[in-house]
Amino acid sequence: MSTAKTFRVLPGFGPTLGYTLAYLSLLVLIPLAAVFLKTAELTFAEFWNVVTAPRVVASYKLSFGMSLLAAAINAVFGLMLAWALVRYSFPGKKLIDALVDLPFALPTAVAGIALTALYAKNGWIGQFLEPLGIQVAFKPLGVLVALVFIGLPFVVRTVQPILEDLDTELEEAATSLGAQRWQAFRHVILPIVFPALLTGFALAFARAVGEYGSVIFIAGNIPMVSEITPLMIITKLEQYDYTGATAIATVMLILSFTLLLLINGLQAWTAKRTGRDR
């Protein structure tokens, strides 16, 4: 070990790390630790009973399944939307660009009520879907619609800057080498956009898992059918069953964290495979 202090041209490592840790602890780590501590009041058998109750398990399936599906849908259509916004100029482009952020800003309850009104049997859109045998409101499909709505900006906003940096020369080069349109997309554009797309996917997914406000209105909250996990937690809280609520929260936390870790790992792997990391 050298005795000389490492010399840094740009100072600030000490304060920055200290600030980061303190801030993160106060806002994230301590509250999360409290969740685990509260849960620890239960014996393992009790815990297991709470978190594997059939209604709760059904809610995991709905929450995580629909969140993944919604994030996937957003990944596809968010990419298309970002592409259109970056590549083409059309009247009202600025307006549409601003509209993308609306799901961020809108109170989720407002979004939920609006979606419910639209997709209910007698709603503007619901009345046309009803004769086709498609029910959206008060069904799992309604949950999906709400989750797609709130997740869209995440994908658009993460992919947009990458597409803006993407040189059209790359596509021209691919085309002049004989690549068809879809080949150029598949082999040239997609690999470059993919890490950002994954980030957008992960963000949209994380947001969807935690979403409460917009979903409970349109979901109808029918036990075993359209109850989301956050609702199960609220239900427990309303019954003053705090440890039960934190037990479910713990499971959610662990599942979400594992999935996000997996996505990050996938991202690192693609970055390495494509030489960005060396």
Partner 1 sequence: MSIQVRNIHKRFGSFIALDDVSLDFPTGELVALLGPSGCGKTTLLRVIAGLESADAGQVLLDGDDASGTHVRDRQVGFVFQHYALFRHMSVFDNVAFGLRMKPRGQRPTEKQIAGKVHALLDLVQLDWLADRFPAQLSGGQRQRIALARALAVEPRVLLLDEPFGALDAKVRKELRRWLRKLHDELHVTSIFVTHDQEEALEVADRVVLMNQGAVEQIGTPEEVYRRPATPFVYGFLGAVNLFHGRVDGEGLRVGDARLPQQARGFGEGAEVLAFARPHELDIVPDAGAGEGIAARVSRVLAFGITARVELDGLNGAQGQHFEVEITRERVDRLGLAEGQAVRLLPSHLSLFESRQAATTAGAAR
Q: List contacts with partner 1 (CB under 8 A).
A: 167, 169-170, 172-180, 183, 187-188, 191-192, 274-276, 278
| CA atoms of 70 and 201, how far apart (whole Å) | 9
Q: For residues 101 and 277, which CB has a smaller minimum distance to partner 1 in the complex?
A: 277
- Least separation in angstroms between residue 8's CB and partner 1 is 27
Q: For residues 108 and 267, which CB has a smaller minimum distance to partner 1 in the complex?
A: 267
- Least separation in angstroms between residue 183's CB and partner 1 is 5
- Least separation in angstroms between residue 266's CB and partner 1 is 15
The identity of residue 264, as a single letter, is: N
Q: For residues 41 and 164, which CB has a smaller minimum distance to partner 1 in the complex?
A: 164
- Least separation in angstroms between residue 169's CB and partner 1 is 4
Q: For residues 239 and 274, which CB has a smaller minimum distance to partner 1 in the complex?
A: 274
- Least separation in angstroms between residue 36's CB and partner 1 is 41
Q: For residues 61 and 87, which CB has a smaller minimum distance to partner 1 in the complex?
A: 87
Q: For residues 167 and 238, which CB has a smaller minimum distance to partner 1 in the complex?
A: 167
- Least separation in angstroms between residue 77's CB and partner 1 is 24
